[in-house]
């Protein structure tokens, strides 16, 4: 099928390349000329496993092209809207200007029988504001939310765990078209759920609200564990064995970040308030507050471990991305912790396998280095993103290079006993300090 993908960021670039990989003829369109230039040469503007390979294959096959010109969408019969919906400046609501702009620019090029497919995460009630303009061109509108996780984006796109189509009443035509687009995924077992627009929009935000709530729940238990002597990691294992609860997304630590969960719960709260149902999701404000408190707690732990002040102390901050296998630092708790410690006068040296360039663009005041540079002579080591290379650090070897063997495991990802046995003072979140220092 001939497909256009409007917006080539974290979502659109992966979507375009994945659709080309399953045999479609795809044009990716974005207003950012540098991004289009890189993508056209097969270079991925983001760090995402498997994406570079898919881009090169797609471009070589001739099935994947990129352009800054919306007129190039004219030949396509399906048009995916994959632009961002960031948090509005100074408010919790979603900024819909990119979505509105994409529709305004695309609509003149639509022809009879085209299907416009919204993938961006939008407040409930957005699709309905665009349907008249699309239908006036004889085209159809569908809302088809995306559930991909960064780091697994290609896998999640090619074989999603569910496909949700929000369609206008009785629009079988669009359902058939989307079934054709996603034939490979459907054949390999991805279930399809057809809904109205509002349900499809809500599925996305409620899924993210649920995940955020689950993480803040376990982080709230970590707060209780900290004052009672309990261990939140064992608590998570124990309650996670109940398959009504499940162990996934029960990792207590510095909390959630990224381009989705934080802004999506805030936008959901703002939208519910607009709808006069603020009280229905008022708990999401608490979810957000618990999450933000964890960053403060990490800074507090580092301060406590350093005897009450971080001033002039060298702190190695391991990790800047909001999670491993990503270079994304949007609302990253790791970067936030580095910035806060630096602001308190610590000599922070921050490192990350992939996210230094993005961090430096936002916070040029921080000192960045390699893992070795960060660890050399450190008074404390803080692990804030659970990259495999940090989990695999040898505590005995690292002990040799630091000044003081203090480690703050802000992701509870290290083997606490192994670090304590190697002579470290180990402090996790929601667990007791283990003092292995002689």
Closest distance of CB 63 from ligand UDX, Å: 25
Q: Strands across the sheet with 314-318, in order?
A: 367-368, 347-351, 314-318, 380-383, 406-409, 425-428, 434-435
- Of 32-40, 127-135, 207-215, 304-312, the window that binds ligand UDX (rule: CB under 6 A) is 207-215
3 binds ligand UDX (CB under 6 A): no
How far apart (Å, rounded) are the C-alpha atoms in residues 319 and 393?
13
In the list 110, 141, 215, 380, the residue contacting ligand UDX (rule: CB under 6 A) is 215
Q: Which is nearer to ligand UDX, 404 or 412 (CB)?
A: 412
Closest distance of CB 37 from ligand UDX, Å: 26
323 binds ligand UDX (CB under 6 A): yes
How far apart (Å, rounded) are the C-alpha atoms in residues 202 and 218?
24
How far apart (Å, rounded) are the C-alpha atoms in residues 303 and 365?
21
335 binds ligand UDX (CB under 6 A): no
The question of whether 413 is a catalytic residue gets the answer no
Closest distance of CB 388 from ligand UDX, Å: 14
Number of residues that bind ligand UDX (CB under 6 A): 20
In this structure, what DSSP letter does residue 87 have?
Answer: B
Which residue from 49, 57, 48 is spatially nearest to 26, judged by alpha carbons? Answer: 57
In the list 18, 144, 208, 325, the residue contacting ligand UDX (rule: CB under 6 A) is 208
Closest distance of CB 419 from ligand UDX, Å: 20
* CB contact at 8 A, 254 and 429: yes
Closest distance of CB 385 from ligand UDX, Å: 8
Q: Which is nearer to ligand UDX, 249 or 283 (CB)?
A: 249
In this structure, what DSSP letter does residue 148 have?
Answer: P
Catalytic residue among 153, 167, 260, 339: 260
166 binds ligand UDX (CB under 6 A): no
Q: Which is nearer to ligand UDX, 42 or 253 (CB)?
A: 253
CA 392 vs CA 65, 226, 249, 302, 383: distances in Å: 40, 26, 22, 22, 12
Interface positions, 237-276, toward ligand UDX (CB under 6 A):
249-251, 253, 255-258, 260-261
Interface positions, 35-94, toward ligand UDX (CB under 6 A):
none
Burial class (CB in 10 A: 0-12, 13-18, 19+), 290: buried
Closest distance of CB 216 from ligand UDX, Å: 9
Any idea what the Cα angle at residue 149 is, between residues 211 and 114, rounded to 5°? Answer: 110
- Of 34-42, 142-150, 183-191, 421-429, the window that binds ligand UDX (rule: CB under 6 A) is 142-150
Q: Strands across the sheet with 115-118, in order?
A: 64-67, 25-29, 2-6, 78-81, 115-118, 140-143, 163-167, 192-195
Interface positions, 93-122, toward ligand UDX (CB under 6 A):
none
Helix (H, G, I), strand (E, B) or coil at 115: strand
Closest distance of CB 90 from ligand UDX, Å: 23
Q: 170 Cβ partners below 8 Å, 6+ apart?
A: none
How far apart (Å, rounded) are the C-alpha atoms in residues 341 and 348?
7
In the list 25, 125, 147, 184, the residue contacting ligand UDX (rule: CB under 6 A) is 147
End-to-end Cα spacing for the chain: 67
Q: Which is nearer to ligand UDX, 30 or 150 (CB)?
A: 150
DSSP run (H or E) holding 419: helix 416-421
In the list 149, 155, 340, 391, the residue contacting ligand UDX (rule: CB under 6 A) is 149
Q: Which is nearer to ligand UDX, 147 or 283 (CB)?
A: 147
Q: Which is nearer to ligand UDX, 27 or 334 (CB)?
A: 334
Catalytic (active-site) positions: 260
For binding to ligand UDX (CB under 6 A), which residues are involved?
146-150, 208, 211, 215, 249-251, 253, 255-258, 260-261, 322-323
């Amino acid at each position: 099928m001939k497909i256009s993908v409007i917006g080539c960021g974290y979502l659109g670039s992966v979507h375009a390349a994945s659709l080309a990989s399953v045999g479609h003829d795809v044009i990716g369109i974005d207003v950012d000329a540098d991004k289009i230039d890189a993508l056209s040469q097969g270079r991925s503007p983001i760090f995402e496993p498997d994406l570079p390979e898919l881009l090169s294959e797609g471009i070589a096959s001739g099935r994947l092209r990129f352009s800054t010109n919306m007129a190039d969408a004219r030949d396509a019969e399906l048009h995916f809207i994959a632009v961002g919906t960031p948090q509005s400046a100074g408010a919790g609501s979603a900024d819909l200007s990119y979505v509105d702009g994409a529709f305004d620019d695309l609509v003149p090029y639509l022809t009879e029988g085209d299907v416009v497919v919204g993938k961006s995460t939008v407040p409930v009630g957005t699709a309905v504001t665009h349907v008249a303009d699309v239908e006036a061109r004889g085209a159809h509108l569908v809302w088809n939310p995306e559930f991909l996780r960064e780091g697994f984006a290609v896998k999640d796109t090619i074989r999603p765990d569910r496909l949700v189509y929000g369609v206008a009443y009785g629009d079988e035509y669009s359902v058939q078209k989307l079934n054709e687009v996603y034939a490979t995924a459907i054949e390999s077992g991805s279930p399809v759920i057809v809904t109205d627009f509002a349900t499809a929009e809500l599925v996305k935000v409620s899924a993210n609200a649920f995940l955020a709530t689950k993480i803040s729940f376990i982080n709230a238990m970590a707060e209780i564990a900290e004052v009672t002597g309990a261990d939140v990691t064992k608590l998570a294992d124990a309650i996670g064995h109940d398959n009504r609860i499940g162990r996934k997304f029960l990792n207590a630590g510095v909390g959630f970040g990224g381009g989705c969960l934080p802004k999506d719960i805030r936008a959901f709260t703002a939208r519910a308030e607009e709808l006069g149902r603020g009280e229905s999701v008022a708990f999401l404000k608490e979810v957000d507050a618990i999450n933000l408190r964890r960053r403060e707690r990490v800074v507090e732990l580092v301060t406590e471990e350093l005897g009450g002040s971080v001033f002039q102390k060298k702190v190695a901050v391991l990790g800047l991305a909001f999670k491993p296998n990503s270079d994304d630092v949007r609302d990253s708790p790791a970067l936030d912790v580095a910035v806060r410690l630096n602001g308190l006068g610590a000599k922070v040296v921050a490192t990350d396998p992939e996210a230094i360039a993005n961090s430096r663009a936002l916070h040029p005041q921080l000192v960045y280095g390699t893992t070795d540079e960060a660890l050399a002579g450190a008074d404390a080591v803080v692990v804030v993103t659970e990259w495999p290379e940090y989990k695999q650090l040898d505590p005995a070897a690292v002990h040799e290079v630091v000044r003081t063997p203090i480690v703050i495991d802000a992701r509870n990802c290290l083997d606490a006993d192994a670090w304590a046995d190697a002579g470290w003072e180990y402090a996790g979140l929601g667990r007791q300090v283990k003092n292995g220092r002689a």
